[in-house]
Chains A and B, each alone.
Chain A
Amino acid sequence: MAARRVTEVAVGDVIGPVTVPVTRATLAAYAEASGDQNPIHQDEDFARSVGLPDVIAHGMWTLGASGSVVADWAGDAGRVVELGTRFTKPVVVPVGGSEIVVEGAVKAVDAGSGRVTVDVTTTCEGEKVLGRCVAVVRLD
């Protein structure tokens, strides 16, 4: 896989939509890899005891999965130089699993520096779960 060239990118280009499945097993694997073992992400009895409807995904899982979609589009994951968001709504993960849908839109292209700014929209069951999610990739 080779990195996309900045000359191939224009404001308004669309990324995705890409559907990413998420199950309890995904969250257990994410908890192990990230070190975030908060039981609200794995134990539905605990999640309900603190007022949540069910197990919820780690916000950082949702950001990470959204970032993966942008990285795949860039063609080289090491090109993602900025990534950020507000966590506005939890992704509820019932025992049968759920999915998120990730879309991007190129907002700005700086041909000189190669910096490409992407607005990312991530939804679950039709509702936005990230606010002001922006990624910047640096292309040649």
Chain B
Amino acid sequence: MAVNPDFVGRSYPSTEPYAVDAALIASFAAAVGAHDPVHTDAEAARAAGYADVVAPPTLVVRFSQEAERAYVTDPDAGIDYTRVVHGEQRFVHHRPITAGDEVTGTTTVDAVRQAGGHAMITTRTEISTASGEALATSMSTIVVRGGED
């Protein structure tokens, strides 16, 4: 099944708000070798001007990929997820995510194009608090590798 080009411009409903806590931030920071005390020490984070411990800049992928899942698993989108590789990723942060934020994501399909037998899909996910404060914009390109047949 080919990737459906008619999905360009389509947006999916926002994900259920996820309550970011200090334990998630600490475990993500440890996994990516982020040693800045603002990730683990609430006093250090407050001294630096933040409401609470600060997420490493790529933690947002947890929420953007969850939001993208509604699209990539949509049967009518025509995406064979077993053939997907991550091609590009970019984040723009509007303010750092901190413990205590209730985070939600809304994905829009920006582009679907064919290149060399593969489909390249670019999505944009707006990450915000449940009350609507913009946190980050995630732009992701996935490549759906073409089949042998």
Could you tell me if A61 and B92 are in contact, using CB atoms closer than 8 angstroms?
Answer: no
Interface membership of B48, Cβ < 8 A:
yes
Contact digits for B35-57, partner A, Cβ 8 Å, 1 yes 0 no: 11111000010001010001011
Residue among A36, A60, A80, A86 facing the most chain B CB atoms (10 A cut-off): A60
Which of the listed residues A77, A80, A82, A87 has the most CB atoms from chain B within 10 Å of its own CB? Answer: A77
Asked if A59 contacts B86 (CB within 8 A), the reply is: yes
Known A63-B58, A71-B36, A78-B38; judge A34-B90 contact (CB<8 A): no
Within 8 A of A (CB), among B114-149: 139
Size of A's binding interface in residues, CB under 8 A = 34
Mask, B67-79, CB within 8 Å of A = 1, is 0000000000000
Contacts of B37 in A (CB 8 A): 1
Instruction: Decide: A84 near B88, CB < 8 A? Known: A64-B56, A71-B57, A78-B54.
Output: yes
Q: How many angstroms between the C-alpha atoms of A1 and B28 in the bound complex?
A: 20
Closest Cβ–Cβ distance, residue B140 to chain A (whole Å): 10
21 contacts between A and B (CB under 8 A): A1-B44, A29-B27, A29-B30, A30-B32, A33-B31, A34-B59, A34-B65, A50-B82, A60-B58, A64-B34, A67-B34, A67-B56, A67-B57, A68-B29, A77-B36, A78-B50, A78-B96, A81-B93, A82-B93, A83-B91, A86-B88
Interface: B33 (CB within 8 A): yes
Q: A3-B48, A68-B34 are in contact. List 8 more A-B contacts (CB 8 A).
A: A1-B36, A1-B38, A26-B31, A61-B31, A68-B56, A78-B50, A86-B87, A87-B89
Alpha-carbon separation in the docked complex, A36 to B28 (Å): 12
- Interface residues of chain B, those whose CB is within 8 Å of chain A, are 24, 27-39, 44, 48, 50, 54, 56-59, 61-62, 65-66, 82, 85-93, 96, 139
| Closest chain B residue to A20, Cβ basis | B33
Bound CA span A126–B96, Å = 33
CA–CA, A36 and B91, complex, Å: 18
Complex CA distance for A3 and B44, rounded to whole angstroms = 12
With a CB–CB cut-off of 8 A, which chain A residues contact B56?
Answer: 64, 67-68, 71, 77
Given A77-B38, A80-B57, the answer on whether A65 and B32 have CB atoms closer than 8 Å is: yes
